[in-house]
Amino acid sequence: MNALIFTTILGIIILYLGLTKNKKILAPAGIAGLLVTLFLSFNDWGLGSAYFHNMVVFDNFSIAFNISMIIITIVIFLFGIDYYKMMEFHVAEQYSLMVFALVGAFLMTSFSNLIILFLGIEILSIPLYILAGGKKFSFKSNEASFKYFLLGSFATAFFLFGIALVYGASATFYLPEIKTYIAQFKGNLPPMLLIGLLFIIIGVAFKVAVAPFHFWSPDVYEGSPTLVTAFMATVVKTAGFAAFYRLLGIGLLPLPESLEKALWVMTGLSLLIGNLVALKQYNFKRLLAYSSIAHSGFIMLAMLSQHDRSASVILYYTFVYSIASVPLFIIFILVKRASNGLDHLKAFQGLYKKAPWVAVFMTILLMSMAGIPPTAGFIAKYQVFILSISQGYLGISIFAILMAVVGIYYYFNVVREVFTDRDHLEPLVITKLNAGLIIVCGIAVVVMGIFVWHLPI
Amino acid sequence: MPEAGWDYAKQTTNQKLNQVIMVFLFYFLSAIMVISALLVVFSKSPINNVIYLIICFIAMAGHYILLNAQFLAVVHIIVYTGAIMVLFLFVIMLLNLNKAIIPQKSAVTRIMAVVTGGIFFLVLIAATRQTFVINPRYAFTSEIGLVANVGKTLFHEFLLPFEISSVLFISAMVGAVMFGKRDHAVGDD
């Protein structure tokens, strides 16, 4: 709770620091504040304290996810120092909006009341709608912002309708009470409750871009400023899946058969659509968007396996995925700058000639995304498959493994471009900070893949 | 609708009359709501759409009063009818949208929209057919919607959601300032 309050204040402090017209202090101030938040979160570890009539519960699950999101946000802020160097206006607003989004993410990991989940999703989303349109003079950015806003509010309407129906049936917003209410029907739910639950699932599924509700994500990822795309692909995804797991894994599962079938279909479709459509993508951000849809499928698989270890596996998966995504976006920005704003995969051509070590780290990061040992991405996928097979979901596990193999192809499409030569090479300008981030994240991916196979939860 | 479980035998004629009036009002307001909501969808001119929506909202406020939620009814009228809808009207007038400019979609899109909407409608109808009366967990009292009670619930049980929504508003305001301010083009990343 202290972390939540402090983060809110931090956002306002950054907003006021914007008045000093000194852009250089914004990111360090934000990072210092986030480090304090990190410390406060660690302090709450193991207490499992509930606040405000059990509306929010800061148990180890939520704190572990919060810490992982804070670390990723710090990395993104460090990336922001270079990214926002050229931007003159509204830098403080961008940072503070990201911090406010983090507040929403904290609520999403710790809710035990549907109202808080709703508020968390909204507090996370509204800053994102604004951030997506951060490049005011870019048509694509405007399109991304507007598309995200319209579709997002539509999904919110569904979600709210679902909450209303569930409340109408069970007369409570509290997840444990809803679970006992559902249990009394022994799988034969009244339709009102069934539709309500389905709508709630649709609302959350939209946020994490699971397959039938994924149409917004490629366009929004492509149009948004790259730093915001990195934030969406990592922190928002982590928060979304933490909320999804809290809602289903901790809260409501096992659900009646019809709903679980719907969830399995969503898993299968994410794996299929994400991986197959990504094969045909030549824009790097769109490629990562489809790859993130595919990753959603794997995380859903871990969630639906319904094992005690699911939470830990999801945490490991999202963290590893995030820590590999951010440096990829950083490298993409560097390459894009060097090739006059080209965002085709061809922009990566000649990277090996220009900066061999960047090419090597890029390969490692993409290997982690594809799930090839010795990187952490392999361990993450391996644990998901072990979990789902041990719970007896053999068919879908084999399908998921096949799709993971398909995934290797499009990640290595990028690697191929990296090692392809180009005739005229523009110099690649890398600041020390960005270089450090790429190296640290790259090494972290390998070290985690070899030594750290579990994150405590 | 009046609460279920009333003891009809003990009621005086006055109460019975009250109940008849309540039922009449319920159906009257519902009819207005349904008709105006349909007109919102079917009428072509944006100004008419907004006016019908206002009528729909006023009828909804009437429903709140029937349920003894006076506070909600007043807030509903002030916020939706007063603020938001007037804003809508202003925007429409300023942008001079007083013509039917609904873009025509292709036949495939329309058919798909009709099919998906129809399936959704069917599911909802099927759900309502099987709906049963749920015993209210909280006893109905005539004071449930009064300002004092709403305030007590809001600042006691729902204090956290109430306070935390300030973060939502501040980020929305930041966004409004960010988009509203005039500045010139800068580097593209």
Q: Which two tokens stand for residue A68?
A: 């992982």
Q: What is the pLDDT of residue B137?
A: 65
Q: How much of chain B, in percent, has pLDDT values that exceed 70? A: 82
Please report the pLDDT score of residue A252 as a whole number: 78
- A103 contacts chain B (CB < 8 A): yes
Q: How high does pLDDT run on average in chain B? A: 82
* Interacting residues of A374 by C-beta distance below 8 A, sequence separation 6+: A446, A449, A450
pLDDT at A87 over 80: no
Res. B7: pLDDT tops 60: no
Cβ B43 vs Cβ B100: under 8 Å? no
Q: Which residue bears the tokens 């005739």?
A: A423
Higher pLDDT, A89 or B20: B20
Instruction: Give the distance from residue A255's alpha carbon to the nearest chain B alpha carbon, in angstroms.
Output: 18
- Helices (DSSP H) in A233-354: which residue ranges? 237-245, 257-278, 284-304, 310-338, 351-354
Span of A46-55, B39-48, B138-147 with lowest mean pLDDT: B138-147
Work out the pLDDT band at B1, boundaries 50, 70, 90: very low
Tell me the residues of B at the A interface, defined by beta carbons under 8 Å apart. Answer: 123-124, 126-128, 130-132, 134, 136-138, 157-161, 164-165, 167-168, 170-172, 174-175, 177-179, 181, 183, 185-189
Average pLDDT, chain A: 91
Q: What share of chain A in percent tops pLDDT 90?
A: 68
Please give, rounded to a whole number of angstroms, the shortest distance from the CA of A79 to a CA of chain B.
Answer: 13
Q: What is d(CA A404, CA A272) in angstroms, rounded to the nearest whole number?
A: 10
Which of A435 and A90 is assigned the larger pLDDT? A435
pLDDT band at A35 (very low <50, low <70, confident <90, very high): very high
Q: Which of the residues A1, A6, A8 would you substitute to probe the B interface, choosing the one with the greatest number of B C-beta atoms within 10 Å?
A: A8
**The two structure tokens encoding residue A181:** 């209410």
Query: Which A residues in the span 114-153 are in contact with B, Cβ-Cβ below 8 Å?
Result: 115-116, 119, 122-123, 126-127, 129-130, 133, 135-138
Of the candidates A51, A97, A195, the beta carbon closest to that of B174 is on A97
pLDDT at residue number B143: 74
The 10s digit of each residue's pLDDT in A180-232 is 888 888 777 887 888 899 999 999 999 899 988 999 999 999 999 999 999 99
For residue B55, the model assigns a pLDDT of: 92
B117-145 burial by CB neighbour count: b if 16+ within 10 A, else e? eeeeeeeeeebeeeeeeeeeeeeeeeeeb
**Quick check: helix, strand or coil at residue A79?**
helix
Task: Give the A window 327-356 contacts with B, CB below 8 Å.
Answer: 333, 336-337, 341
Confirm if A330 and A438 have CB atoms less than 8 A apart: yes
Q: Would the CB atoms of A86 and B160 count as touching at under 8 Å? A: no
A178 vs B: CB within 8 A:
no
Domain spans in chain B, listed from the N-terminal domain onward: 13-180
B140/B146 Cα distance (integer angstroms)? 13
More confident residue, B32 or B10: B32
- The one-character DSSP state at A212 is G
**Helix pair A394-418, A257-278: axis angle to 10 deg:** 20
Chain A: nearest CA to B177, how far in angstroms? 9
B9 min Cα distance to partner chain A (Å): 30
Query: What residues in B contact A225, CB-CB < 8 Å?
Result: 189
Helix, strand, or coil (residue A57): strand
pLDDT tens digit sequence for B99-139: 656 667 788 888 998 999 999 889 888 877 776 666 666 66
pLDDT(B169) > 70: yes
CATH topology of domain B13-180: Four Helix Bundle (Hemerythrin (Met), subunit A) (1.20.120)
Across the interface, whether the CB atoms of B160 and A51 are under 8 A apart is answered yes
Look at A90 and B126 and tell me if their CB atoms are within 8 Å: no
Q: What is the DSSP letter of A109?
A: H
Determine what percent of chain A falls in helix, strand and coil, rounding each to the nearest 5.
75, 0, 20
- Torsion on CA atoms A150, A153, A154, A158, rounded to nearest 10: 170
- The whole-angstrom separation of Cα A351 and Cα B29 is 69
Q: What is the pLDDT of residues B77-103, one digit of tens each?
A: 999 888 888 888 888 888 776 565 666
Instruction: Give residue A436's pLDDT band: very low, low, confident or very high (50, 70, 90).
Output: very high
- Closest chain A C-alpha to B98 CA, distance in angstroms: 23
Q: What is the pLDDT of residue A239?
A: 95
Q: Which residue of B138, B160, B186 is in closest CB contact with A86?
A: B186
Comparing B34 with A192, which gets the higher pLDDT?
A: B34
Mean pLDDT of A339-358: 87
Report residue A113: phi and psi, to 5°.
-135, 135
Q: Is B87 exposed, middle or buried (0-12, 13-18, 19+ CB in 10 A)?
A: exposed
- Res A21: pLDDT: 81
CA angle A135, B180, A329 (to 5 degrees): 20
* Helix, strand, coil percent content, chain B, rounded in steps of 5: 70, 0, 30
Query: β-pairing, A56-58 with A49-51?
Result: antiparallel
